[in-house]
Structure 1
Amino acid sequence: MSATSAALQRLRLRTELRRARLAAELTQREVAKSMEWSPSKLIRIEAGEVGVSVNDLRPLLAAYGITDRRKIDELLDLARGSRKMPFAEYRDLYGKEMLQFLSLESAAWITRHYSSLVIPGVLQTEEYMRATMRAFAAQTNEDLVDRAVEARLARQELLDDTGDRQLFFILDESVLRRSTGGPGVMRAQLERLAELSAQPHITLQILPFSAGAHPAIQGPFTLFEFRVDEMEDALFIEDSRGIILAGTSPEETRRYLERFWELEDLAVKEDVEKLLRRLAGRVEAGSDDLLRLLDDEAV
């Protein structure tokens, strides 16, 4: 079973369990007490942060009054299939929010991402990754950097997807103008983006400075949509603390989806590959560097 299938099965299982508890009109605290669990264990199961063993699931289903044999077998199969989650071997690197993000990213049918700070991790070259990681860390442990790069490169299997997965990225112009890692690294990164923009399942758009103030000026966010009907869309917002799960309600997620569509109306969509290659060619020239304006005035 693939890690992607495991992620989807855990997502389906957590949804089914929460729905069953609500149908039984039980609170999390009541269930935890009857199961002799800590309340945090049930909360983590319903959040999809941890799996649930078959031995734990059987009495839990009984507590919810589920007696239909076909339904029980279906949920037990989901529990068995959801044990091995994507990127579980990187728990020492990532917090629970980021691990959940990676799990959903691997399982999503449609991904929509707006970036205002850096190139999205799944699109980064290895050299760009290392430059950003070193910039973020006050004290850099090269072994941890190597493992973080390994994990991020593993995410990029999504880019070679041969199915019907669709990836949509809107990049603020500042993301492309900021020479991260030096001219050589940035040029290679822009050329990589140009290559990716030509793939049919990847859509890259650029939000130009001329758009002015816009609906997403507060910062980056990601939306995941799933082909499984039972799975609600997921929303993640990134702030100075890192990625956080923010989609606490369908209404909030829908507002961000509408925000993404508004950004698409403002973004450059045509000839993006050509535009990226031209930007790559101008990186070393630095003709648009802010500090050059002062040099020019001095002359």
Structure 2
Amino acid sequence: MSTPSPAVQRLRLRTELRRARNKLELTQRQVATKMEWHPSKLIRIEAGEVAVTVNDLKALLDEYGVTDRRKIESLLQLARGSRKMPFSEYRDVFSKEFLAFLALESSASVIRGFHFFVIPGLFQTEEYIRALAAGTSQSVTPERLDRLIEARLARQELLEGEEGPKLFLVLDESVIRRQVGGPKVMRAQMERLAELAAHPRITIQILPFSVGAHQGMLGPFTLFEFSEEGMPDSVYLENPRGESYASNEPEVTGKYLEAFWALEDRALRDDMSQTFRQVAAHIGEGSDDLAPAADREEGQDEAN
């Protein structure tokens, strides 16, 4: 049996610690006061933003009245195993919220996402990344951009081989209509999507403009499922202005899972590899790049 990733171990540990505190009906401030900690320390531990030392964990478990030796040793093992988080070497270019996202991404067995603005980072070509940075940031230095590209390409190792998570993505039509970097960059990006759409672990669908208003218009989101027993699903809500939110509360993750299924049901079910290649071939010829796909959607509705 393989050892769970550091991200999974930290998520399990923080879930257990919150459960123990809530069982005693204590607030974070009350516990921090008893431990003689600053409240932010416990908040950050429970949020998974920082690791907890073995000594601090022992003291915390004693405060919570956890006396079962097996339980204590299990939690101590989680603390030891969760200290080295994925992509922690990129703290200089990523926010703590996005590092938490990367930890979930690298540990999940199933990833579902809806994207409304740009091609998701996991699927971006290097040229697309550079064009996106040039068009959206006025202050990125060449050195910082190189670090961002290095990190993003490292993320994409997740897509290699037959092992790894299953990915189900729905892209709003605007994502592939917007010519980031111009026709040449977008053609290469569409060819990359065509390759990925043929991968046995990856399903990509397009939500056409013709569906009108939909739940995804509230913003992009990503859902994570884990193979480890007892691990709760998580959802990450993305705000392009930099504010992001993650939750593993069942009522929140359940709501977004239902929204994703609804978007899947309304999205195109074509051979997306062929669709992306057709889009690539017509980029620069006019504004109706997806017209053939949209026409097939209408015919498909009639058949159903």
Residue pair 1:115, 1:170 contacting (<8 A) in 2 also: yes
Cα distance, 1:196 vs structure 2: 0.4
209-218 vs 3-12, greater mean Cα deviation: 3-12
Q: 1:35 and 1:161, CA in 2 relative to 1: closer, same or farther beyond 3 A?
A: farther
1:185 aligns with 2:185: yes
Task: Tell me which residue corresponds to 2:106.
Answer: 106
185-194 vs 127-136, greater mean Cα deviation: 127-136
Cα distance, 1:246 vs structure 2: 4.6
Give me the whole-angstrom Cα distance separating, in 1, the residues matched to 2:40 and 2:113. 31
40-49 vs 211-220, greater mean Cα deviation: 211-220
Q: Which amino acid aligns with 2:263?
A: L
Task: Tell me which residue corresponds to 1:79.
Answer: 79
Give me the whole-angstrom Cα distance separating, in 2, the residues matched to 1:217 and 1:229. 33
Structure 1 runs of 4+ off > 6 angstroms? none
Give me the whole-angstrom Cα distance separating, in 1, the residues matched to 2:220 and 2:3. 26
Task: Tell me which residue corresponds to 1:116.
Answer: 116
How high is the TM-score relative to the length of structure 2? 0.90
Q: 1:127 and 1:163, CA in 2 relative to 1: closer, same or farther beyond 3 A?
A: same
Cα distance, 1:4 vs structure 2: 6.8
240-249 vs 262-271, greater mean Cα deviation: 240-249
Residue pair 1:112, 1:222 contacting (<8 A) in 2 also: yes
Q: 1:115 and 1:200, CA in 2 relative to 1: closer, same or farther beyond 3 A?
A: same
Q: Unmatched 5+ residue regions in structure 1?
A: 290-299
Task: Tell me which residue corresponds to 1:129.
Answer: 129
Cα distance, 1:194 vs structure 2: 0.3
Task: Tell me which residue corresponds to 1:235.
Answer: 235
Residue pair 1:24, 1:65 contacting (<8 A) in 2 also: no
Q: Which amino acid aligns with 2:142?
A: E
Task: Tell me which residue corresponds to 1:295.
Answer: none
260-269 vs 23-32, greater mean Cα deviation: 23-32
Residue pair 1:221, 1:237 contacting (<8 A) in 2 also: yes
Residue pair 2:158, 2:164 contacting (<8 A) in 1 also: no
Cα distance, 1:160 vs structure 2: 1.5
Query: Identity over the aligned pairs, expressed in percent?
Result: 59
Task: Tell me which residue corresponds to 1:7.
Answer: 7
Give me the whole-angstrom Cα distance separating, in 1, the residues matched to 2:189 and 2:252. 33
SS at match of 1:204: strand
Residue pair 2:9, 2:78 contacting (<8 A) in 1 also: yes
Residue pair 1:109, 1:165 contacting (<8 A) in 2 also: yes
Output aligned runs, 1:20-169, within 5 Å. Answer: 20-163=20-163, 165-169=165-169
Residue pair 2:197, 2:204 contacting (<8 A) in 1 also: yes
The superposition leaves residues 77-106 of structure 1 with CA deviations (integer Å, 9 ceiling, x where unpaired) of 110000000111111212221111111111
Residue pair 1:131, 1:180 contacting (<8 A) in 2 also: yes
Cα distance, 1:211 vs structure 2: 1.2
Q: Which amino acid aligns with 1:142?
A: P
Count of aligned pairs: 288
Cα distance, 1:275 vs structure 2: 0.6
The superposition leaves residues 234-292 of structure 1 with CA deviations (integer Å, 9 ceiling, x where unpaired) of 12222232351153742222111111111111111221110111111111434638xxx
SS at match of 1:216: helix
CA RMSD of aligned residues (A): 1.8
Q: Unmatched 5+ residue regions in structure 2?
A: 290-304
Give me the whole-angstrom Cα distance separating, in 1, the residues matched to 2:94 and 2:287. 39
Task: Tell me which residue corresponds to 2:217.
Answer: 217
The superposition leaves residues 217-250 of structure 1 with CA deviations (integer Å, 9 ceiling, x where unpaired) of 2221111112223222212222232351153742
230-239 vs 187-196, greater mean Cα deviation: 230-239
SS at match of 1:239: coil
Residue pair 1:4, 1:106 contacting (<8 A) in 2 also: no
Task: Tell me which residue corresponds to 2:257.
Answer: 257
Task: Tell me which residue corresponds to 2:294.
Answer: none
28-37 vs 197-206, greater mean Cα deviation: 28-37
The superposition leaves residues 179-217 of structure 1 with CA deviations (integer Å, 9 ceiling, x where unpaired) of 111111110100000000011111100111111111212
Task: Tell me which residue corresponds to 1:280.
Answer: 280
Cα distance, 1:139 vs structure 2: 2.2
Residue pair 1:3, 1:84 contacting (<8 A) in 2 also: no
